[in-house]
Structure 1
Amino acid sequence: MQVIKCFAFYFLVLSIVFFSACSSNNITTDDSLEKYFNEYHVTGTFGMFDNGQAHFTIYNLKRFTDSAYLPASTFKIVNSLIGLQTGVISNEKMVIPWDGVARSHAEWNKDLTMEEAFKLSAVPYYQEVARRIGKDTMQCWLDSLGYGSKYGRAVIKDDLDHFWLDNTIKITADEQLGLVKKLYFEQLPFQKRVQTVVKNVMIQEKNSNYTLAYKTGWGYKEDGKSIGWVVGWEEENKHPYFFVLQIEGPQDMDMITARQAILKNILSQYGFFKGQR
């Protein structure tokens, strides 16, 4: 039944939703950001889109537009959207009971709501969501969205509960930015309520000066190197700036510290967090 609904929605929007963000010449490359990557001995890329000026600022443009990597836990954005749209997730307060398996992340070892699982990036919760959605319905929605399709159709094989973690599907930073931009403006082929819920759970910091919303991701390439993501937006004076940070480093690197520090350093260099943008 859910597959039928997915196809019905697909034909309603008439065309696949592509997430490619960079499509014009209004791009400034900023090599000054390299120092933040070097400080943590990583390579990577950063891109920001100033919606008011329709302007991109990008470090390492080729990597931003042309290199695709596993989405890791940034896929929780899409998994949440599909789960809510299909009714597998009723709302952000829906609890999935802990399965009793003790994992290294102690905060995952309990009953969690969707909101808690999203904030904690709890893999087991979202693996169960994917299983409840089902392979055919999940594939239909990925096809309808054109998710990770820059280099060909993203195909789920026999890995329904970990295809976003094992390099089965890959996505570019450019596509990631396009996704969160469409989500912010509620332009994705999901109900408005669904998009609003996901936007709200992405908010990490909110005060009188700014709102910072994002989803992180951490996974491993086929060669064992770490891949980290931070995907989201910073809003000041009702003006959104969409960003994607993607870094690559050794398998045993401190990814959590590195990606957070690099993001905050870049945003601070650009004058954010003061409510003056």
Structure 2
Amino acid sequence: MRYFIGAVLAAFLLNACSPNNVQVNNELGKYFDSASVKGSFALFNNGTGDFAIYNLNRYKDSAYSPAGTYNIVHSLIALETGVVSDENMTIQLDSAVSMETAFKQSVDPYFQEVAKRIGKDTLQFWLDSLAYGNHQIGKSIDSFWLNNTLKLTADEQLGLVKKLFFNQLPFQKRTHEIVKKMMLQESNANYQLSYKDGLTPLENGKQLAWVAGWIEENKHPYFFVLNLEGPSNSQMTGISKDLLRKILANQGFFEGKR
């Protein structure tokens, strides 16, 4: 299982930024402006290979702490190494919390305990193998994905969730499938919406919010990543999810017609 996929991931990401398949969509800026935030959004149509991107420079060039979105990778590593047996495994915090609950609700203490059980050397091996962001753990094994030590771009986020969907990361199929199951947020006759969100303070005092995942309509996946920056006193988690729905609706989703 120990093989390096950084070159493959880099090749995908480079292709993501080629001029032939990227459409810059400045119209989406109205949603960011109305919420008094700045950020970027990208939508990848897997069927055509086309990207619709708002704020291309921020999307491909600016790296940020992954916050709760790191729990995608954290869960993959925990399952693959056997530190967590499955999504139902509980850890006793104030009460018994399962990995699935911790994943969906971004319960940091659960994943901080998991990080300690995995160990720094094993975590570093997997971050290097995945070419995940800047690969940095630093001195705090239980907070490096929250304290601006580990950073990655929105482009790298999208590359990761695309490879997760297609079971193309260096993990067993079972590991992929469990994490994909935990990412599913909504499922009905028209669409299935899967994502992981995250929220963390930035070094400039503002808040950063992420939402990364995919939406499926008529068995066709579309991958997205939303990155938002706003005031420290704003409800960024709610704002990010609201913006995601508005942008996806603008792009014609939720009616089962894509």
TM bucket by the smaller chain? over 0.9
Query: Given the alignment, which residue of 18, 33, 39 partners 2:34?
Result: 39
2:43 matched to which residue of 1? Answer: 48
2:5–2:129 Cα contact (<8 Å) kept:
no
Between 254-263 and 50-59, report the one with greater CA deviation: 254-263
Query: Which of structure 1's runs of 4+ aligned residues deviate more than 6 A?
Result: none
1:18–1:147 Cα contact (<8 Å) kept:
no
1:15–1:270 distance in 2 versus 1, CA, 3 Å: closer
Matched, 1:137 2:122: yes
Q: Whole-Å Cα distance in 1 between the matches of residues 201 and 17 of structure 2?
A: 29
SS of equivalent residue, structure 1 residue 176:
helix
Q: Which runs of 5+ in 1 are unaligned?
A: 1-8, 101-109
Instruction: List aligned pairs for 1:212-251, cutoff 5 A.
Output: 212-251=193-232
Query: Given the alignment, which residue of 162, 182, 191 partners 1:181?
Result: 162
Q: Whole-Å Cα distance in 1 between the matches of residues 136 and 226 of structure 2?
A: 25
Q: Percent identity?
A: 54
Q: Which runs of 5+ in 2 are unaligned?
A: none
Query: Given the alignment, which residue of 52, 56, 59 partners 1:57?
Result: 52
Instruction: Compute the RMSD of aligned alpha carbons.
Output: 1.3
TM-score, normalised with respect to structure 2: 0.95
2:184–2:195 Cα contact (<8 Å) kept:
yes
CA drift of 1:256 comes to 1.8
1:217-262 deviation line (CA, Å, top 9, x unaligned): 0001111110000000000011000000000011111112210111
Q: Whole-Å Cα distance in 2 between the matches of residues 208 and 131 of structure 1?
A: 41
1:18 matched to which residue of 2? Answer: 9
1:121 matched to which residue of 2? Answer: 106
TM-score, normalised with respect to structure 1: 0.89
Q: Whole-Å Cα distance in 1 between the matches of residues 85 and 202 of structure 2?
A: 34
Q: Whole-Å Cα distance in 1 between the matches of residues 5 and 248 of structure 2?
A: 37
SS of equivalent residue, structure 2 residue 229:
strand
1:69 matched to which residue of 2? Answer: 64
CA drift of 1:77 comes to 0.2
Q: Whole-Å Cα distance in 1 between the matches of residues 49 and 5 of structure 2?
A: 26
2:5–2:130 Cα contact (<8 Å) kept:
no
Question: How many pairs align?
Answer: 254
2:5–2:131 Cα contact (<8 Å) kept:
no
SS of equivalent residue, structure 1 residue 18:
helix
1:104 matched to which residue of 2? Answer: none
